[in-house]
Structure 1
Amino acid sequence: MALSPRVREPENREQLCCTFASRYVRDSVPKFTMPEKSIPKDAAYQIINDELMLDGAPRLNLASFVTTWMEPEVDKLIMASLNKNYVDMDEYPVTTELQNRCVNMIAHLFNAPIGEDETAVGVGTVGSSEAIMLAGLAFKRKWQIKRKSEGKPYDKPNIVTGANVQVCWEKFARYFEVELKEVKLSEGCYVMDPKKAVELVDENTICVAAILGSTLTGEFEDVKLLNELLTEKNKETGWDTPIHVDAASGGFIAPFLSPDLVWDFRLPLVKSINVSGHKYGLVYPGVGWVVWRSKDDLPDDLVFHINYLGTDQPTFTLNFSKGSSQIIAQYYQFIRLGFEGYKNIMENCMENARILKEGIERTGRFNILSKDVGVPVVAMSLKDSSQHTVFEISDHLRRFGWIVPAYSMPPDVQHVAVLRVVIREDFSRSLAERLMSDIEKVVQLLDILPSPLPLKAANVSTIANDSDHHHKVKKSEMEIQAEVLEFWKRLVDGRRTGAC
């Protein structure tokens, strides 16, 4: 959520003016205060639609893991259920039933144990951020209850993660007063080292959080090794430190592409798992899921019972009212695609990632940081960043319509800057080929352009030095501009003729 400060209207009142709306209204619409009068619905639509045209195209937003395309049939289901408040379970019992079916399907997918002693429970959330908050609260409360029963202090809980975790983990730690102990990353290793993680565990650790699909590179962390090492430490110390798996990105990848990879409830210390339905669950935002290994892993005092909507309804959420449409959409995807459909889609995503990776490697300009086993992500750094940076490449790619994020790694490896491309279902082979072509064009353009910092330094120095040298620098800049214009001319002509 973007924080929006209150904005005071200037004296001349900044206003929205729309050519099309003038057919219906003559008065402009104020930007930051509510209009005094109503306007026709057509005008309101056109005013907003005109501004939204300046947003980026979602399918060309390769920064996001979030689903940007679904079938028309599910669009109809979503539209038909937009007015349903999911929390009103008594009024919408079928929607509640669909959520329960989804939870059971996900628990089965994650190999949750089935038996009298262990029966998985779960809930739908607005996204993985809420799911992580709920899972973290369950761990914190269970740890506090145990510490109280032992007569030990319970005011300094901590959680162990890698420095590569998504910001929602930092939010959980800050909002709910839990110390975040991060395992530092190192050159060439951009995920949590299980050995270092276990070394950070102490009696106040409520859980160790492993990431199945790092945001930085898409790589899976070694949850099995973490389970083995933590089991040994628990035996030595008498502690019972558990594991949570943040499978926001990888939870709908690993079961279909790497079924023999052991990371889920097959490991005894894994007590809860979250996954994003709106990522590779293939549903529009926002829907997430969190599943606990058994009912015992979710403390009873965190579950509220309400009856003012009709009947007794147990609820464990941070949000109360929320739409039903995304839960219905998730159920649609599960029964529409089935295991076979998800497997085919994920295989296709990985194949497109491989094609893109090979194309980028052929340029000879990049180091590929993403691994073969993980989320279909292509993360890359420049082999030579002395003249230009990935941030410049990201900026120039926007001219072709692409949104490709560039970012620095966390502390200790922040000297490594990365470009990352997320491959989603709607990223076709032809788009991958076009992106490769455009990246090559940008690299060729940067070969023409001077490095920004040296050029700035040169301009400053020439002002203080002789005018003849200053003239030569200016002339060089003019030549550079001519070369750039010629480059773009060739590019446009090539596109017109289909030569590019």
Structure 2
Amino acid sequence: MSDVDRGMITPAYTGRFAVAGIPALQIPDDSMDPEVAYRFIHDELMLDGNSRLNLATFVTTWMDPQAEKLMAETFDKNMIDKDEYPLTAAIEERCVAMVADLFHAPDLDPTVASSATGTSTIGSSEAVMLGGLALKWLWKAKKTGGDGAEGGARPSTGTPNLILGSNVQVVWEKFCRYFEVEPRYLPMEEGRYVITPEQVLDAVDENTIGVVVIAGTTYTGELEPVKEIAAALDKLAADGGVDVPIHVDAASGGFVLPFLHPDLEWDFRIPRVVSINVSGHKYGLTYPGVGFVVWRDKTWLPEDLVFRVNYLGGDMPTFTLNFSRPGNQVIGQYYNFLRLGRQGYADIMRSLSDTAQWFAGQIEEEDEIEIVTDGSAIPVVTFKLHSDCEFTAFDVSHGLRSYGWQVPAYTMPDNVSDLAVLRVVVREGFSRDMARVLHQHLVEVMKDLRLIKSDGHLPQKQHFAH
């Protein structure tokens, strides 16, 4: 019997790969049927958590079927091949212009996409690196009296430093280490998990390349006081002190604040804000990975950082850390911009915020729970357990996993690292009904934890029997 005939009559899970397993660490010598390859990979992935029940992540886990279709149609388009895919390149430019306009960048021409200064990225991690590099080059230009390139009139003295809270996402630590910038972390304290203008003023000096202010912190979802910090730096400069720019890390809040809090000034309406990064795959409601970094105008992006290549046909400026990447994420983002519009985004953000605040109000009724953030800033709820509680936040997180929920428990940054909190990120696709079920399961977990007997076992329950 031929291998083909044998494959046709062999039951699905009795072939040689079902018995011997599939190679995991070496490329196999022989080929296999595509359905077999699909089945084994598909089955292995069933052991992953359910992405819709993953409340740890800010990343989008649901999009319209039409968006998925568009993205599937553009997997094979390389974003960097702008001469070969001019319409994909044009759509990227449009997205950058839309983001810059959303953040109130000045002097934009509504008919010319290139009047906006920015680029799409794989996500906010790349966007952060690019924003940080621009700050460093501007500092070098100031020190050398040049344009940011090497060889200016006066050599740079001192090590460049960056002011940021200890609550920043790890990518900022990576930036400082990779690009030899001294991170000056401003500590948190009990009850205050954002940086303050006073802390910033105490930390800046002539070698400070910039101050990072977060619009939607990773730990608690809070908004740092951009306007107040900018005002303090304005006064410092006016009094003859150092003139330090601000970069706003709006990875989580950038697509929330313009719609949920349109009157809040945190973006380019504040003159001292020179660059902003945002994640499209968070509250931009697009599958990973896509992000953007935009600058106030071209003067804040040193030309020395922009490379020009022509070996793909045509002269193409590029300012990215990556080169080849699929164009489908930007296409997905553009779909959302057109599909939803400002009104659609506003409706979604209000709905998510309402769900988050409803959930916070429900769980606050539990005796052991204290709300840290209620989801009113961005749709993120964080809560902690009272210090006299007999179980921990990690116990609660573990208990919720038994229901399929992934609700992270983690310790806060240095100086408040003895505090553990739990976080629920309310995203598109997390309905009020799902929030109600999560609340019920949380109540059950808390009830079980209260009743744990001295021998460490949960009380026996009567289970449903068929």
Q: TM-score if structure 1 supplies the norm length?
A: 0.86
**Are 2:396 and 1:421 aligned?**
no
Tell me the equivalent position of 1:216: 219
User: Which residue does 2:4 correspond to in 1?
Assistant: none
Is the aligned partner of 1:444 residue 2:447? yes
Q: How far apart are the structure 1 equivalents of 2:188 and 2:120?
A: 32
1:468 is aligned to none
Kindly provide the amino acid, as one letter, of the partner of residue 416 in structure 2.
V
1:108 to 92, 101, 107: 101
- Letter of the structure 2 residue corresponding to residue 52 of structure 1: L
Aligned match for 1:79, one of 72, 77, 81: 72
> What corresponds to 1:471 in structure 2?
none
SS of 1:275 mapped into structure 2 = strand
Shift of 1:374: 1.7
Q: Which residue of 2 aligns with 1:314?
A: 317
Cα pair 1:131 1:289 within 8 Å, conserved: yes
How much has 1:437 moved relative to structure 2? Answer: 0.5
Aligned to 1:398: 401
Whole-Å Cα distance in 2 between the matches of residues 99 and 288 of structure 1? Answer: 11
Q: Number of matched residues?
A: 445
Instruction: List gaps (5 residues or longer) in structure 1.
Output: 1-17, 451-475
Q: Is the deviation greater in 376-385 or in 60-69? A: 376-385
SS in structure 1 of the partner of residue 359 of structure 2: helix
Equivalent residue for 1:485?
Answer: 460
Residue type of the partner of 2:77? K
Q: Secondary structure at the match of 1:159?
A: strand
Which residue identity does 1:335 align to in structure 2? L
Q: Which of these residues, 53, 58, 61, is aligned with residue 51 of structure 2?
A: 58
Shift of 1:148: 1.2
2-side partners of 1:373 and 1:400: how far apart?
A: 27
Matching of residues 344-363 of structure 1 within 5 Å: 344-363=347-366
Q: What residue in structure 2 maps to residue 123 of structure 1?
A: 119
Check conservation: 1:377, 1:421, Cα contact below 8 A: yes
The residue aligned with 2:286 is 283
The CA distance in 1 between the partners of 2:20 and 2:191, in whole Å, is 60
**Normalising by the residue count of structure 2, what TM-score does the alignment of the two structures yield?**
0.92
User: Which of 7, 14, 32 in structure 2 is aligned with 1:22?
Assistant: 14
**1:364 alignment counterpart:** 367
**Cα distance, 1:154 vs. partner?**
4.1
Q: 1:441 to 1:384 in 2, by over 3 A?
A: farther
> Quick check: 1:197 aligned with 2:189?
no
Task: Structure 2: give runs of 5+ residues left out of the alignment.
Answer: 1-9, 146-152
How do 1:460-475 residues align onto structure 2 when only pairs under 5 Å count? none
For 2:212 and 2:244, the matched residues in 1 are separated by: 11
Amino acid at match of 1:22: T
The one-character-per-residue Cα deviations of 1:122-180 (angstroms, maximum 9, x if unpaired) are 10000000000000001101111210127253451000011111111111011111011
Q: Higher helix fraction: Structure 1 or Structure 2?
A: 1
Aligned 1:239-318 pairs, distance under 5 A: 239-318=242-321
Q: Which secondary structure state, in structure 1, belongs to the residue aligned with residue 373 of structure 2?
A: coil
User: Is 1:67–1:283's contact at 8 Å kept on the other side of the alignment?
Assistant: yes
Moved more, 151-160 or 282-291: 151-160
Residues 269-306 of structure 1, C-alpha deviation per residue, up to 9 Å, x if partnerless? Answer: 10000000000000000000000001010111110000
The answer to whether residue 49 in structure 2 is matched with residue 44 in structure 1 is no
Relative to structure 1, the CA distance from residue 156 to residue 138 in structure 2 (aligned partners, 3 Å threshold; closer, same or farther) is same
Q: Alpha-carbon deviations, 1:405-443, whole Å to 9, x = none?
A: 000001111111000000001100011000111111001
2:347 alignment partner, SS class: helix
Equivalent runs, 1:322-361 vs 2, <5 Å? 322-361=325-364
String of CA shifts for 1:235-276, please: whole Å, max 9, x gaps.
223432100000001011110011110000011110000000
State how far apart, in whole Å, the 2-side matches of 1:385 and 1:132 are. Answer: 40
Q: Deviations over 1:303-352 (max 9, x none)?
A: 00000000000000000000000000000000000000000000000000
Q: What are the superposed Cα offsets for residues 184-206 of structure 1, whole Å, 9 maximum, x if unpaired?
A: 00110011112211210110000
Shift of 1:21: 4.7
Give the Cα–Cα distance (whole angstroms) in 1 for the partners of residues 141 and 417 of structure 2.
39
- The residue identity in structure 2 corresponding to 1:34 is I
Taking the aligned partners of 2:205 and 2:70, their CA distance within structure 1 comes to: 49
Contact 1:24–1:40, Cα closer than 8 Å, also in 2:
no
Q: 2:415 pairs with 405, 408, 412, which one? A: 412
Letter in 1 for 2:78: N
SS of the residue 1:129 aligns to: helix
How well do the aligned residues superpose, as a CA RMSD in angstroms? 1.9
- 2:182 maps to amino acid: E
Distance in 1 between the 2:169 and 2:290 partners?
17
Q: Secondary structure at the match of 2:125?
A: helix
Query: Could you tell me which residue of structure 1 aligns to residue 210 of structure 2?
Result: 207
- Distance in 2, Cα, partners of 1:428 & 1:318: 37
The verdict on how the C-alpha distance between 1:154 and 1:297 changes in structure 2, with shifts beyond 3 A counting, is farther
1:94 CA drift (Å): 0.3
Report the Cα distance in structure 2 between the residues aligned to 1:325 and 1:246, rounded to whole angstroms.
24
1:235 paired residue among 224, 234, 238: 238
1:7 match? none
Letter in 1 for 2:121: T
Percent of aligned pairs with the same amino acid: 48
| 2:149 aligned with 1:157 | no
Q: Which moved more, 1:355-364 or 1:275-284?
A: 355-364
User: 1:88/1:155 Cα in 2 relative to 1: closer, same or farther (>3 Å)?
Assistant: farther
Match of 2:28 in 1: 35
Please say if residues 370 and 378 of structure 1, whose CA atoms lie closer than 8 Å, have aligned partners that are also in contact: yes
